Structure 1
Amino acid sequence: MASNSRGSASMNTPDRQEMTSGVLHASRILKELSSLRHLEALCDGSVRLLDGTVRVSKALLASGCPYFRALYQFEEGGCQKTEEPCLDLSRATFELILDYTYTGTVLLHSDNIEDVLRASDLLLMTDLKELCIQYLMERTDVDNCLGILQFAQQFSCPRLVHFAKDFICEHFKHRQIVRTEEFRGLSEDRLSEILSWDGLEVRSELDILTALVVWLNANSDATADVESLVTCCLRESSDLNYDPKFQRALQELRAGQAPWDSPGAARVRDALTRTRRIRCIRERGKKTVLACCDAQAHVYLVDIFSQGKHAGSHFLLPPMCVPRIKPAMAVEGGYLFVLGGLSPEDHQPKRDVQRYDPASNSWTLLAPMPYPACMPKVVSLAGKLYVTGGYDDEVELEIGQLEEFDVYRNQWRSLPPVPNRRRGAALAASEDKLYYIGGSPWQEPQVGSLFFRVLDAVEIFFIREEVWVAGPQLQERRCNSAAVSQDGNIFVLGGVRPIECPSAQGQLKVTGTEGLYRDSNMGWTKLGHYHVPSEAAVCLAALAHPNYLVVLGNSRPSEVACTSCFITNGSGWCPPPGADSILTAGTHVFHTYVLHTLPSAALQDLTSNTD
């Protein structure tokens, strides 16, 4: 009996444990398979190409290429077997595809980038396609931007399309693009499309007139509809005194004076004679405004950066598809996104994702978040939104899930969760990394403790490797701070921590500003001259403009209906030109903010609709 008792105890003792040889096992196996892939005995399939046939391992090819995975599964389902799939690719390009499948790396250069991008699009290899897009974005300049735009549109690369359009719009005012061979070689339809963009940055409409004459001079043999080009491309300002350079140039052109005495200028002059006047009065260029959502589920655009009569003006966007309060907001690809939030009716957290398109002035419902949340944290990077935190219950710690949303494919993907979730942590993104900063692991002090715990911890998520690592610690512990990325540098602003003194029990200290610079190995650096002003001590948001940082907050939590706004001016903080606005009127309570850059004509349309 004693022996049986011991045997029974031994059987109840856990004796199974999962063992691993480490994360390098998979890479070692792939390396060995790559070295063996030319052995005929290990190849069970072949692919016919434009200039030959390549033997392949079906399993490995299907594992790395969705096109072949679908093809081979189609065969396995009892359909007609294809002995040699035929691809409209060269053998050299297909070998690069195989190299990437086995190693995860690809050698790109100017001679093969077009073929590799076309192949990745054909074979549905989104990761490889993204590497090609990144390669082209890093090498876009005034000489090739028009060709890259056409290339991106041809192979359905919306992120590259948006990038190339932004590049063209930003650099058009310098007239360098007009001097290129690509511009002179545009088709008439393409020329009309580009010169009609609302977002083109021009010093004067004279830049558009010059571009039109240059193209006509270079295409003198083309039977272009110049009257249609003039009508579609040239614009008057809504204020006749707004653009004196253009008005003077029109007078000189109609008189045939230099430099408007070329054949192209003569064709424009004849077209203007027939059309009599330029009818379009839409504004050109882009403007950055502050998008904010109030407690009534209204989204406003506030012009805090303009000076003069437009300073502080605001525009009300159309109602969202479903009204939400306390959502998260983000901008990516020229669109404004609203994620999650509470239903105004029952105040329950929701999963909705809504996108505002300035071109159509309308909202669209997208694939919902994987989890419902009020005020989740969201950052945008390279065509993706990364979402974590937020609350599904006001008294709990923030949600620890990390989710990725592809704004162009409208798809969600779960990533490894935050390892040490907490309340009041800040989130920022830069250079394929997410930074999860500070916060408190408890909402309330432990029993018998005078202080609640606040952390100086920083955890970094490497997006490509999908792994969390410990980052450099903050100089000062903080909770409920705001973080932002600018030019690859990370800044964390404001926040609070308890004063560690028995006589100051329950009192909080407002923390300062720190920066983590990408070109420095010194860790976080305190920035005393950028200490958040007391009027915004309760920091609600920190945002990055290309030229400065923006911080929004209140002097105390009770003053939620009066938001102070400051921008950096090189040596400290100062109010922006439009600081006095709906933000400070005391008539609205705002919870979420983001900077949104959109065509000035879109704001002009909002004003017209309001009127």
Structure 2
Amino acid sequence: MRPTVEDRRSHQERILDYLNRDRKGAKRHCDRVLQSEGKNYSVHESILGAASDYFRTMFDVEMKEKYDDVVPVDKIPSKRLENILDYAYLGDIEVTEDNVMEVLEDAEYTQMKDLKTFCITYMLQIVSVDNCLKFRADGLRYNLDDVVTKTNQTIAENFTSVLKQEDFMQLDVDDMSAIIDLRPKTCEEAVFTGIVQWVNHNVLQREELFVNLFSKLDLASLSSDIISQVYKESLVKNSLVCNNILLEAVLKSNSPVPVDKSCEFALIGGGGSLKQCVIYDVNTKQARQLPQLKNNRVLLTSQKVGDKLYVIGGADYWLWFTTKPYKSGEMLDLNEQTEWCAVPDMLVARCECGAGLIQDHIYVTGGGDGLQYLSSCEKFDIPNNQWIRINNMLHARARHGTVVYKDSLYCIGGWDGSKQLSSCERYDVRSDAWNEIAPLNQARYGLACVVLDENIYAIGGYNDGYLSTVEKYEVRMDKWETAASLQHARSGHSACVVGNKIYIIGGIYGKEKLKSVEVYEQASYAWTVAFETEEPVYKATVVAL
């Protein structure tokens, strides 16, 4: 009769358990000491040699460590070395998603093949949309072919979801390119959006990489509507190479050549038409009515998000200091155009504020609450339908300009309650921090601001008199320079960009309430009067459609 397999396994476990307790306790039979971070660990040379090719080589080959009683293990922190020793003696170790790569690194370093295989098996079991990019990078780093294959499969099957992961924004260009190559050919629109977001995440370093990534897209598979949206993206529009790539795709697919079909703006609220919402066509000069606002609003702000118009804040009439500004906002679905619906109240009542859209958030800056001018700011989280406080601006300001350029918020000029401002500041959404940028050459409030072809324009306003002057901010140079002046000085006007032209609507000049709409074309470097609105418009808000 011979011992069974279970008997032999039990015998082996008792011996290893005894030796493990010996190294941690009496150390009667230990013949080596490992040292990490100043801590000593007594061990048995034979056990380590059997469990680890690294230690077996160290103890067998003519190396310095072969004759040292104390062997330093500098590459493995002490706590992790304890876990490795537990595995060497007992085959027991806790591996989690958080520590699997540390354990694998230690297994790689100590050449514990069974432990490395265990880690790889575990990684293959837990690969998901949330971790596939990280595990893919780890797999490439350690030549884990099975892990790379599994993560590639996960990426291909869940590509649209993977694009939304924060790890996606941290990829270098080589990994980004390789990830794009894994995509199924049914998600080109999502891939284009992901490329744009990736470039804009660090635009100063990545903008020059856009063309190569853009060239990987199968643009011919996109619908004509999506092609038009691609054409409107500034990274495409400002690149001759991208324009040629897009044109080639259009010709290949027999789609109509993309044009900027947007030729309308919506003029909302303001003095003289507190509830009105009117759409103007800049080509036909014709107007048509949208449903009226629920509340009178003047000195309000607005944003277009997809097919929805949002109006935020304001007051009941333009002498706002005699009434309390609103916390409330309203939303109109342009597809239905039935009625304006209430949206959640802001955290702070405010009018004369500014607003900008960055991804899925409407940012609202400064303004006045009826008692004081504000430096406070907040953002509306559209998917979660709630307002969230963000850090204050460096200066209180109202009647200022607010624009968005490459996922940063810019606040220009304004009034702080005692003086007109020339100061300007930029908000970084990633760090939730405001920083000063170059000041205007001429302080002004009641101005209008827009972005056109990578420049910020500060237009008109008031400074001891009504202004016709215009300044242009070159973001890369952090510098304001003089641009062409308006035909008519004005303050309290509205501005938007339609068809790559700047439109200035209404405003005030002294006691005169203005109807005129001026348009600026870069080719002529001049403002001209385009048409007039049906009624005088001032202290209103405008959005391009």
Report the TM range for the smaller structure's normalisation.
Answer: 0.5 to 0.7
Contact residue 490 and residue 515 of structure 1 kept, 8 A: yes
- Counterpart-to-counterpart distance in 1, 2:385 and 2:137: 26
1:46 partnered with 2:19? no
What is the CA distance between 1:421 and its match in structure 2?
Answer: 0.8
Deviations 1:439-483 (A, max 9, x none): 34334xxxxxxxxx4332222222222222221122222232222
Partner residue of 2:544 out of 588, 596, 605: 596
| 1:513 alignment partner, SS class | strand
- Counterpart-to-counterpart distance in 2, 1:532 and 1:475: 17
So what's the TM-score if we normalise by structure 2? 0.57
Counting only pairs closer than 5 Å after superposition, residues 13-28 of structure 1 correspond to structure 2 as: none
1:581 partnered with 2:528? no
Residue of structure 2 equivalent to 1:556: 509
- Larger strand proportion, structure 1 or 2? 2
Residue of structure 2 equivalent to 1:167: 226
Counting only pairs closer than 5 Å after superposition, residues 189-204 of structure 1 correspond to structure 2 as: none
The one-letter code sitting in structure 2 at the alignment partner of 1:592 is A
- Counterpart-to-counterpart distance in 2, 1:371 and 1:164: 43
Residue of structure 2 equivalent to 1:399: 374
- Counterpart-to-counterpart distance in 2, 1:555 and 1:350: 23
| 2:187 alignment partner, SS class | helix
Residue of structure 1 equivalent to 2:187: 147
- Return closer, same or farther for 1:119/1:146 CA change in 2, 3 Å cut-off: closer
| 2:135 alignment partner, SS class | helix
| 2:269 alignment partner, SS class | strand
| 2:410 alignment partner, SS class | strand
Larger RCO (CA within 8 A; separation ≥ 6): 1
What is the CA distance between 1:540 and its match in structure 2?
Answer: 1.4
Contact residue 47 and residue 85 of structure 1 kept, 8 A: no
Residue of structure 2 equivalent to 1:489: 455
Counting only pairs closer than 5 Å after superposition, residues 441-460 of structure 1 correspond to structure 2 as: 441-443=416-418, 453-460=419-426
Residue of structure 2 equivalent to 1:513: 470
What is the CA distance between 1:539 and its match in structure 2?
Answer: 4.6
Residue of structure 2 equivalent to 1:73: none
Partner residue of 2:315 out of 342, 348, 358: 342
The one-letter code sitting in structure 2 at the alignment partner of 1:289 is F
- Return closer, same or farther for 1:286/1:460 CA change in 2, 3 Å cut-off: closer
What is the CA distance between 1:121 and its match in structure 2?
Answer: 4.3
- Counterpart-to-counterpart distance in 2, 1:431 and 1:90: 26
Contact residue 466 and residue 491 of structure 2 kept, 8 A: no
Q: Select between 408-417 and 171-180 the one with higher mean Cα deviation.
A: 171-180
- Counterpart-to-counterpart distance in 1, 2:185 and 2:453: 22
What is the CA distance between 1:567 and its match in structure 2?
Answer: 0.6
- Return closer, same or farther for 1:285/1:412 CA change in 2, 3 Å cut-off: same
Counting only pairs closer than 5 Å after superposition, residues 316-331 of structure 1 correspond to structure 2 as: 316-320=289-293, 324-331=297-304
Residue of structure 2 equivalent to 1:9: none
- Return closer, same or farther for 1:440/1:152 CA change in 2, 3 Å cut-off: closer
- Return closer, same or farther for 1:120/1:568 CA change in 2, 3 Å cut-off: closer
Residue of structure 2 equivalent to 1:352: 328
- Counterpart-to-counterpart distance in 2, 1:338 and 1:44: 54
The one-letter code sitting in structure 2 at the alignment partner of 1:313 is Q
| 1:456 alignment partner, SS class | strand
Deviations 1:515-565 (A, max 9, x none): 1113435x11112xx21222x4225123223422122244524223x3321
- Counterpart-to-counterpart distance in 2, 1:303 and 1:350: 27
- Counterpart-to-counterpart distance in 1, 2:368 and 2:223: 38
Deviations 1:56-96 (A, max 9, x none): 89xxxxxxxxxxxxxxxxxxxxxxxxxx9945469863426
Contact residue 299 and residue 541 of structure 2 kept, 8 A: no
Identical aligned pairs, as a percentage? 16
Q: Select between 406-415 and 284-293 the one with higher mean Cα deviation.
A: 284-293
- Return closer, same or farther for 1:303/1:432 CA change in 2, 3 Å cut-off: same
The one-letter code sitting in structure 1 at the alignment partner of 2:307 is G
Contact residue 227 and residue 258 of structure 2 kept, 8 A: no
- Counterpart-to-counterpart distance in 2, 1:358 and 1:90: 35
- Counterpart-to-counterpart distance in 2, 1:152 and 1:510: 42
Residue of structure 2 equivalent to 1:526: 482
- Counterpart-to-counterpart distance in 2, 1:439 and 1:294: 19
Question: Which structure 1 segments of 5+ residues have no match?
Answer: 1-34, 58-83, 100-110, 158-162, 184-194, 204-283, 444-452, 499-507, 598-611
Contact residue 354 and residue 365 of structure 2 kept, 8 A: yes
1:566 partnered with 2:541? no
Residue of structure 1 equivalent to 2:491: 538
| 1:115 alignment partner, SS class | helix
Residue of structure 1 equivalent to 2:387: 412
The one-letter code sitting in structure 1 at the alignment partner of 2:427 is F
1:370 partnered with 2:347? yes
So what's the TM-score if we normalise by structure 1? 0.51
Contact residue 145 and residue 168 of structure 1 kept, 8 A: no
Counting only pairs closer than 5 Å after superposition, residues 66-81 of structure 1 correspond to structure 2 as: none
The one-letter code sitting in structure 2 at the alignment partner of 1:520 is M
Give the total of aligned pairs.
379
| 1:167 alignment partner, SS class | helix
| 1:398 alignment partner, SS class | coil
Residue of structure 2 equivalent to 1:422: 397
Residue of structure 2 equivalent to 1:471: 437
- Counterpart-to-counterpart distance in 2, 1:509 and 1:294: 19
Tell me how large the CA RMSD over aligned residues is. Answer: 4.9
